[in-house]
């Protein structure tokens, strides 16, 4: 009878490999104690990165928010404009003005999504022009980013364009 050989230890997983593990992978692979600690470190680093990006975006979108406050429209982010649920015709000219300014992809996507209302029909020529200029694919979405993410401004502009056509 052949004796079963003990399994050779596997090499430690890299950070990239740990980041890609699914819940099922974690159950299937027996992680070492050190490997079990590293995802926590990875998540802390991601949280820190998200927090820093959010702070940079808040600074970047401040001119838009200031213009909105001038008409008594108080929101914490341009992404909150369409969440207010109220009609906002006075907001549309401000958003259209800022849509053509050189904001990061993330801010432009938020402006475009806020313009997905039928009342923004007046902005149709702007949507078309900005859509043509917007990049598609992956890239830097916020000032100060070093990692590429899926670009969203073009999608937001397409949604706005589609909505104003109805």
43-89 pLDDT, tens digit each: 898 899 889 999 999 999 999 999 999 998 888 999 888 776 666 77
Which pTM does this prediction carry?
Answer: 0.75
123 in Cβ contact with 88 (< 8 Å) = no
SS3 for 18?
Answer: helix
Spell out the residues 6+ positions from residue 159 whose beta carbon is closer than 8 angstroms to its own: 112, 113, 116
CB 82 within 8 A of CB 116: yes
Angle formed by the axes of helices 153-164 and 124-133, to 10°?
150
Q: Given the structure tokens 């990692």, which residue do they identify?
A: 147
How far apart (Å, rounded) are the C-alpha atoms in residues 81 and 95? 10
């Amino acid at each position: 009878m052949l004796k079963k050989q003990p399994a050779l230890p596997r090499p430690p997983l890299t950070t990239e490999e740990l980041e890609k593990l699914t819940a099922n992978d974690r159950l299937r692979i027996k992680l070492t104690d050190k490997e079990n600690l590293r995802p926590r470190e990875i998540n802390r680093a991601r949280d820190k990165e998200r927090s820093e990006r959010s702070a940079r975006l808040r600074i970047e979108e401040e001119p838009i928010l200031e213009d909105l406050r001038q008409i008594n429209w108080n929101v914490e982010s341009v992404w909150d404009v369409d969440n207010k649920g109220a009609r906002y015709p006075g907001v549309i000219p401000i958003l259209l003005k800022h849509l053509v300014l050189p904001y990061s992809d993330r801010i432009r996507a938020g402006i475009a999504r806020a313009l997905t209302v039928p009342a923004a029909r007046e902005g149709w020529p702007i949507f078309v022009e900005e859509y043509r200029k917007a990049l598609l694919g992956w890239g830097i979405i916020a000032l100060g980013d070093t990692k590429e993410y899926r670009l969203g401004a073009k999608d937001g502009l397409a949604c706005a364009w589609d909505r104003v056509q109805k």
